[in-house]
Amino acid sequence: ILNVEQSPQSLHVQEGDSTNFTCSFPSSNFYALHWYRWETAKSPEALFVMTLNGDEKKKGRISATLNTKEGYSYLYIKGSQPEDSATYLCAHKTDSWGKLQFGAGTQVVVTP
Amino acid sequence: DTAVSQTPKYLVTQMGNDKSIKCEQNLGHDTMYWYKQDSKKFLKIMFSYNNKELIINETVPNRFSPKSPDKAHLNLHINSLELGDSAVYFCASSPSPGQFEEQYFGPGTRLTVT
């Protein structure tokens, strides 16, 4: 993997269902992995910054895991609610002064 | 209080003009960034300043020039605007470029070049 890839590109979830999606990144030169939540007509907002292999982070019903050796992170949404509808971006960083390389995002639509 | 603000929110201008977008953060952060959201909706870094010093300068046309008068402000000046410059430009800031530092984004400036 040369770039940051997110899959699926979009998904539709029924309210109350749980879902998850993937961020893949180059496993070499890992420094940090960011997750952002981006609602329509708003700015991206940080969810998690993950730095260690095996890291698990949780914020309310949203959680994330990190595998730096194989180069992937999963984001989970438990019991999806309509307000979870957003595009979820991940971004990979290779060093302290380096840039964040963003994926294209996974668009989540939660229907009542 | 708005943490990261950008002006203007919308900018419509003709090809060949010169324009500036301003960004201000009131978070006391040392590092600021400019991103361009391209036609495929990717956020791509253009520039980053840490304490008024340029630390990231991606391959962008030299018609784009950032200026940081102090660490709370990072402005983007664009000369001789072209149709391909039409995009949404986001400013962001973080406490430092360090490992744990999440970035705080402004609301974006939608630039349309006609």
CA distance B4 to chain A (A): 10
Using an 8 Å CB-CB cutoff, list chain A residues near B59: none
Whether B56 contacts chain A with CB within 8 A = yes
Whether A1 contacts chain B with CB within 8 A = no
DSSP β-bridge partners for residue A54: none
A59-98 residue pLDDT tens: 999 999 999 999 999 999 999 999 999 999 999 998 877 7
Distances (CA, A) of B48 to A30, A107, B16, B42, B106: 20, 27, 26, 17, 14
Using an 8 Å CB-CB cutoff, list chain B residues near A93: 99
Predicted local confidence at residue B99, as pLDDT: 63
Q: Given the DSSP bridges, would you call strands A19-24 and A5-7 parallel, antiparallel or unpaired?
A: antiparallel
B49-76 residue pLDDT tens: 998 889 888 878 999 999 999 999 999 9
Structure tokens at A34: 């960011």
Using an 8 Å CB-CB cutoff, list chain A residues near B44: 102
The residue with tokens 């590092």 is B31
CA distance B16 to chain A (A): 29
CA distance B80 to chain A (A): 27
Structure tokens at A28: 């070499």
DSSP β-bridge partners for residue B87: B111
Residue closest to A43 by CA, chosen among B31, B105, B46? B105
**Which residue in B50, B102, B103, B109 has the most chain A C-beta atoms within 10 A of its own C-beta, making it the best mutation to test that interface?**
B102
Chains A–B, number of C-beta pairs less than 8 Å apart? 52
**Which residue in B27, B39, B42, B44 has the most chain A C-beta atoms within 10 A of its own C-beta, making it the best mutation to test that interface?**
B42
Chain B's closest residue to A107, CA to CA, is B41
Predicted local confidence at residue B60, as pLDDT: 85
Question: In A5-107, which residue ranges form alpha helices assigned H by DSSP?
Answer: none
Whether B28 contacts chain A with CB within 8 A = no
Residue B2 has pLDDT above 80, yes or no: no
Half-sphere exposure of A26 (CA within 13 A, CB side): 13
B49-78 burial: b if 16+ Cβ within 10 Å, else e:
bbeeeebbeeebeeebebebeebbbbbbeb
Q: Do B43 and A89 make contact, defined as CB atoms within 8 angstroms?
A: yes
B13-33 residue pLDDT tens: 999 999 999 999 999 999 999
- A83, A60 in Cβ contact below 8 A? no
Predicted local confidence at residue A45, as pLDDT: 96
Distances (CA, A) of B73 to B2, B4, B98, B101: 14, 10, 20, 19
Residue A20 exposed, middle or buried by CB count within 10 Å (0-12, 13-18, 19+) = middle
- A21, A6 in Cβ contact below 8 A? yes
